Structure 1
Amino acid sequence: MQHSPRGKVRSGAKIRTVRSVGEGIKYKQYADYKMVANVAERYGRHDPEVVNVVQLAPLTAGNRSILAIELRSDRQSRKPGILIIGALDAMSWGAPNAILELSEKLLYDASYQTPFFNDYDWYLIPMGNPDGIQFSHNLRSLPPLDPYEWARNATARLWTRPSEWHKNVDNESESKDPLCFGTNINRNFAYHWQDDVHKTPPRCCQYYPGSKPFSSAEAKAIRKYVDKLGDVISLAIHLHASFVPRKEYILYPWRYSVRQTSNSRTLQEIGEYAARQARLPDGRVYEVHQSSSDERVAGTLSDYISGVVGIDLVFLIKPYHQMFPNETDNSELVVYVKKAVSTILSVVRGWRSSTKQNTLSFFGKDVEF
């Protein structure tokens, strides 16, 4: 038997340093675009045989490239792919941290090597809305104002911030209202776009879906990347956030319709398994159901991945996240990150359980590991 050097772990063609990150989180400040870019660059430089960093195009209105971090333990073989996209919503401040934390564990924590890193290829987009995240970060110290009033009042913008901001910061040239700007990226995908409304919400609305599908650079860039991956992906997760205390969800398509998908029973079972495994700190479990059970939302990322790209297993994970959290107190961030990472991995385990990948048979009895 060949033994790896102490402090190393063999993964595919490369022996990598094991650096257990333990129970605490490594990235203890809310990640901005610069942090995501620096971490991605470091991964690519230190572990080029297992990490590939992709700059998506087109660039955003703020001249930023959405970054994808691809983790493959063995470039010589193709394994089931897991896609995770976070922070399409500019209020999901903790989602980039959670995805960076997950990548850190997959790469450098021995307890996550098997089964999570060695058995799958991972495609991670920590920050799907870099302009919106930066915009909301920059305004955090100002007093809040109703977002619609803020958008309509140029003077108020000098000394207030919108109480919530879920959009990017683009400014469509054909807009009839030059004061208002921004598109809700998660309503800008071309699958039953605007099927949930009778008329287009006004430009100042936080749920403005764009003038047409894929009018936002962010949705275009993610579409090109996801379409290119295609059937490489077996499981897709949109890491979002719930902004209502004690309302936390594991959801699955459809969001635009109450019609059920053909595999809704499988999605429900995987979601319920994950909810039991990732029990919330106060003992509650995530609510698990079809996305449209609470509210119909059309043009979403999860429905596009399911309905157009054709991925069977698609989930929307929404741990609670405070809007405009106190940046000097990272306790909210720590809780969100731990919940998000635990839930993502529990969904993967639920998927494995549904296909009996989690089990070994002893004397005719299946034992889960």
Structure 2
Amino acid sequence: MFGKYHTLCPDLVEDDTNNSGPLLILIPSPGLFDEWRNGGEAVRDVYNIGYEVFRVYPTDEQLQLLYQFQERRDYNIWSEAFKPNLSVDIMVAPINRMIFQKFLQQNYIKYEIKIKDVHNSLEDEQRSLFRMRSRSSGVVSQYYQYDWIQSYLRRLENKYRNLVRVESIGKTYEGRDILVIQISTDRSARRPIVLIDAGIHAREWIAPSMALYIINRLVENQVDTEELVAKVDWHIIPVINPDGYEYTHTKVKVVLILTYAEGGSGHLGAKITGTDCGGKTVLKSRTRTVVVLTQTGTLTCTGMVGASSDPCEDTFSGTKGFSEAESQALQKYALKYKKRIKMYLTLHCYGNLILYPWGFTKKLPENWKDLHDLAVKASEAHVKAGGEKYIIGSSTNVLYPAAGGSDDWMKGVIGVDYSYTIEMTQTYGGFIMSSVLINETVVRFFEAIRVFGKFVADMEPN
């Protein structure tokens, strides 16, 4: 049936029906395209049926052959690390499966099928979530929606008044509060701050779960974490992109697996509200507040490496720096606590990576050795807890140029010496990580968080 389907720019997403959202890359025929744009249902049933995820193991030479698929809208690169000697996960539409498989075989590229049918995997996870929600209440027993997360933070504030304060750092496009929880045993002491955010990319559900688990351990379960709050204040934003996060839970499942939908915040999850792409509002993946260091050492906004000026691309840099309400909220909050923030961690998935600046150049920051050594210790703690070893390095050198990341901005503008992007590890499923794996994943990585926290606690006051 898929032989008659056509490839289409999938970024055209908004209609006014309750079921509106990004469909996948295949459209049955030009005649049905107009019906789809007007909210028709004929196309929706085929959105991710039969999509497979190939795990490819290219050599350096073979990797060059795979670069062509990065620019193809009918293929979706899941892996953050697109480097030699690392596996690459690529989601392939049914219409292209045999072609892609033949391409791999003809070029002697080793591969395996990681997910046989993405649609079925998503359906299985949805059924699992439904069962778990009916019987469990633990903070990491399932993926919670944003209303529950807000309520949880407020409950902690009411119960632990001497330790917890919750406030809104701003409103999203759709009017949701972006909540931060401040954990401090002595607010008058003006202690160093570890600032953590999660969930800027809407499909990366394990990141907010990790943030919630950190909160739980620091507030409710202090059996062995008292030292982490004795000398350090923790400011944690568990979901910095509530609109996009909620959208992935309630309106469209496929948003979990498509790059262009990964960071949606704004109207229907859109980062660039009102941007027209073929007559429809664009659902963007991420807004890059693109910054580069000039020769004078100041930071300027530009559309450079790793970012696109095309609003239909998932790396669209935005109309200007901090064009979105969510990034504006983080900017204002960081500026407010500029003198006290000593470490910044932004939580993502997946890829098994601990990344530090810079994302716009291969040059390394002056304290790169300190950044690297600390990340190694965090990875070692993760391994000791039963997890995998993390790949460590600057964003550009480990992955690819990606100007405008929040870790770069925190270091270059706010002056946070220790600024990291964490691509959390997953053993199976990529972005479709089963909820049954949440607990073991966050428990292991908390040992890395412990290393980071102890380091800040031991810093000399300045």
Would the TM-score normalized by the shorter structure come out above 0.5?
A: yes
Structure 2: runs of 5 or more not aligned: 1-136, 292-298
Displacement of 1:333 in angstroms is: 2.1
In structure 2, what is the Cα distance between the partners aligned to 1:118 and 1:171? 38
- For 1:284-323, list aligned pairs within 5 A: 284-293=388-397, 294-321=399-426, 322=429
The one-letter code matched in structure 2 to 1:299 is G
CA displacement, residues 98-118 of structure 1 (integer Å, 9 cap, x when unaligned) = 111111111122333431111
CA displacement, residues 19-55 of structure 1 (integer Å, 9 cap, x when unaligned) = xxxxx96331212211111011101111222211110
Q: 2:190 aligns with which of 78, 85, 102?
A: 78
In structure 1, what is the Cα distance between the partners aligned to 2:221 and 2:318? 41
Q: 1:121 aligns with which of 233, 242, 246?
A: 233
CA displacement, residues 110-142 of structure 1 (integer Å, 9 cap, x when unaligned) = 333431111210100000111111111224556
- Secondary structure at 1:207's aligned position in 2? coil
In structure 1, what is the Cα distance between the partners aligned to 2:389 and 2:245? 28
The one-letter code matched in structure 1 to 2:313 is C
Distance 1:211 1:80, change over 3 A: same
Structure 2 residue 209 is the aligned partner of structure 1 residue 97: yes
Distance 1:74 1:93, change over 3 A: same
Structure 2 residue 155 is the aligned partner of structure 1 residue 42: yes
Displacement of 1:273 in angstroms is: 1.1
Percent sequence identity over aligned pairs: 23
Displacement of 1:56 in angstroms is: 1.5
Displacement of 1:320 in angstroms is: 2.7
Rg (Cα) greater in structure: 2
Q: 2:180 aligns with which of 48, 65, 68?
A: 68
Structure 2 residue 451 is the aligned partner of structure 1 residue 346: yes
In structure 2, what is the Cα distance between the partners aligned to 1:204 and 1:109? 45
In structure 2, what is the Cα distance between the partners aligned to 1:175 and 1:143? 19
Q: Return the TM-score normalized by structure 1.
A: 0.76
In structure 2, what is the Cα distance between the partners aligned to 1:248 and 1:108? 28
In structure 1, what is the Cα distance between the partners aligned to 2:154 and 2:425? 30
Q: Return the TM-score normalized by structure 2.
A: 0.61
Distance 1:254 1:345, change over 3 A: same
Aligned to 1:106: 218
In structure 1, what is the Cα distance between the partners aligned to 2:288 and 2:153? 28
- Secondary structure at 1:251's aligned position in 2? strand
Higher relative contact order (CA 8 A, sep 6+): 1
The one-letter code matched in structure 2 to 1:179 is K
The count of residues paired between Structure 1 and Structure 2 equals 310
In structure 2, what is the Cα distance between the partners aligned to 1:198 and 1:220? 19
In structure 1, what is the Cα distance between the partners aligned to 2:307 and 2:353? 27
Displacement of 1:323 in angstroms is: 5.1
- Secondary structure at 1:37's aligned position in 2? helix
Displacement of 1:63 in angstroms is: 1.3
Pick the structure with more helix per residue: 2
Structure 2 residue 166 is the aligned partner of structure 1 residue 166: no
- For 1:221-240, list aligned pairs within 5 A: 221-240=329-348
- Secondary structure at 2:187's aligned position in 1? coil
Aligned to 1:182: 283
The one-letter code matched in structure 1 to 2:153 is A
In structure 1, what is the Cα distance between the partners aligned to 2:247 and 2:352? 26
Aligned to 2:311: 203
Structure 1: runs of 5 or more not aligned: 1-23, 149-163, 358-369
Checking the alignment, whether the CA contact within 8 Å between 1:183 and 1:209 is kept in structure 2 is no
Structure 2 residue 140 is the aligned partner of structure 1 residue 27: yes
